[in-house]
Chain A
Amino acid sequence: MQLLNEWAFIGVFFAIAWVFPLLPIAGSWFLRPHKPNAIKQQTYECGVETVGDTWVQFKVQYYIYALVFLVFDVEMVFLFPWAVAYKQLDWFAFGAGFLFIFLLADALIYAWRKNALEWI
C-alpha cells in the first residue's frame, strides 16, 4: 500500500496543480476590462493584414526530427530497466546492452549519412 500512498500524493498534486494557474486567470477576469472589438482581435502580424490560411505548408524535416526522437524515446523503455539493474548484471548483460545501443546508433549514422538531420 506504500506504493499507492506515494501515488495518491501525486494524484492530489495533479488536482491542485491546475488550481494554481486557474485562480489568477479567473481572478483577472473580474478585474480586467472587457472591451473587445474587431480591430483588436485581428491576428497579429506586425500590423500587416493577414493573407490566406494560417495553415501554411510545413517542411517534412520537422517530422523527421520528431521521428528520430520517437525512436530514441522508445529505446528508453528498455535502457532504463537495464540501467537500474546494471550493478547486478554480468558481462553478458553488458554485451546485450552494448548491442542494443549499437543498433540504434546505426540508425542515427544512417540518418546522418543520408543528410536526414540537416536543417534545410
Chain B
Amino acid sequence: MIALWMYLLVAAALFCIGIYGVLSRRNAVSILMSIELMLNAVNINLVAFWRYLTPQNMGGQAFTAFVFVIAAAEAAVGLAIIISVYRNRKSVIVEDVNLLKW
C-alpha cells in the first residue's frame, strides 16, 4: 500500500504550484483557478490523514465536505466580482484594478 508521506508530498507540490500561480499570474481568473488548486491540495491532506490515522472518525470526510462548500462559495462570489469589475473597467488584469490603492 502507498505510504502516507507520498500523498502528502503530492499535496505539498500541488499547493506550491497553486502559490506560484497566485503570485505570478496577472489575470484574475487564473488566480482564482490557482486558489482552487490550493484548496484541493488541502483536501488531499484532509482525506489522507483521515484514512491513515482516524478512518472510523467522520472528521476528515466532514471537513472535506465543508471545504467543498467554501470552494464553491469562493468561486461563485469571486467570479461574480471579476465579471462586475470587467463590466466597469473592461479589464481582468489585477494590476489594473487599483482604485483603492494608496
Listed in ascending order, the chain A residues whose CB lies under 8 Å from chain B are 60, 63, 67, 70-71, 73-74, 77-78
Report the minimum CB–CB distance from B32 to chain A (whole Å). Answer: 14
Report the minimum CB–CB distance from A74 to chain B (whole Å). Answer: 4
Q: Is the interface of A mostly helix, strand, loop or mixed?
A: helix
Residues of A within 8 A of B68 (CB): 74, 77
Beyond the given pairs A77-B68, A78-B65, 17 more chain A to chain B contacts, judged by CB atoms under 8 angstroms and listed by A's residue number, are A60-B83, A63-B79, A63-B80, A63-B83, A67-B76, A67-B80, A70-B72, A70-B75, A70-B76, A71-B72, A71-B76, A73-B72, A74-B68, A74-B69, A74-B72, A77-B65, A77-B69
Residues of B within 8 A of A70 (CB): 72, 75-76
19 of the cross-chain contacts (CB-CB < 8 Å) are: A60-B83, A63-B79, A63-B80, A63-B83, A67-B76, A67-B80, A70-B72, A70-B75, A70-B76, A71-B72, A71-B76, A73-B72, A74-B68, A74-B69, A74-B72, A77-B65, A77-B68, A77-B69, A78-B65
**In whole angstroms, how far apart are the Cα atoms of A73 and B68 in the complex?**
11
**In whole angstroms, how far apart are the Cα atoms of A18 and B80 in the complex?**
36
